[in-house]
Amino acid sequence: MSSSWNSVGLGVLYQVIGWVAFFAWSFSFYPQVVLNYRRKSVVGLNFDFLVLNFTKHSSYLIYNAALFFSPFIQKQYHDKFGDKEMIPVAANDVAFSLHAVALTSFTLYQVFIYERGQQKVSKVCISITAVVWSAAIVCLIVAWPKSDWLWLIDVFNSIQVGMTTVKYIPQAVMNFKRKSTVGWSIGNILLDLTGGVLNFGQMGVQAIDQHTLVNFYGNIGKTLLSLETVFFDLLFIIQHYVLYPVKRDENGKAIISERIAPLIRPSDKPEEDSV
């Protein structure tokens, strides 16, 4: 017996929340892209964050697309959790992942064409990325003979959870060292927080309808993704509005403190655009 919604209303609400979360998370990429374009600079945007974020979204895309489109993997999921359990990946999850990979790639492109001062990707980030993708290849080789694809995509789901935890840390530390969030878009964070809360709410609606919490641990990656997103976004909001608020002149333009100078070459001119 295949899974289905017990309540049509909850099914509709699930879709509505999912797509609102999709648009919030998708639009969250644009404030940073626009800010980079306006400033013609990526100074203040941590490159480790971008690289780790690309790994995270690529892994999440593999998980979402495979589970959503593959009947074989869906069968393996139902064999593990029961035929009545709904697949914990919605169309908006796949759409978001595709969009996220595209926008993260474009932001990485901006790093190459705009002023970046002395910033660069750290050796630690390069090492983490190399280890993660090497481990993924090994898991692919292990899963191939037995066609254990559900286990394999769970590995990618675990990768995206780990990357979500790790990716924010370099940016948070950079903000702390600079005592500034200039160059890091708060619009990105506010929309990201909205998406995280709605994403968790969408899973709650499914749990209420199905009278089970299987979807929370059946797609533990999505659950942890929402919780991690909310935690770090709240941290960035505190950094931006409480710890390191942007000072502005009488015309509303950001006053860039000398404390951020170590990230800029002496010959660089300070940014004048507002955040």
Within 10 Å of residue 136's Cβ, how many Cβ atoms?
Answer: 17
pLDDT of residue 104: 96
Q: For the chain, what are the domain ranges?
A: 8-242
pLDDT of residue 39: 92
- Helical spans, DSSP H, in 28-148: 30-39, 47-69, 71-81, 91-113, 123-143
Task: Give the least confident one: 20-24, 153-157, 240-244.
Answer: 20-24
Q: pLDDT higher for 264 or 6?
A: 6
Q: Whole-model pTM?
A: 0.78
Best-predicted range by mean pLDDT (134-148, 203-217, 243-257): 134-148
CA distance 97 to 55: 12
Cα–Cα distances in Å, from 223 out to 30, 117, 207? 24, 37, 12
pLDDT of residue 206: 84
Mean per-residue pLDDT for 255-264? 44
Q: How confident is the model at residue 237 (pLDDT cuts 50, 70, 90)?
A: very high
Tokens of 259: 């404390």
SS3 label, residue 183: coil
For Cα atoms 191, 195, 198, give the angle at the middle one, nearest 5 degrees. 135
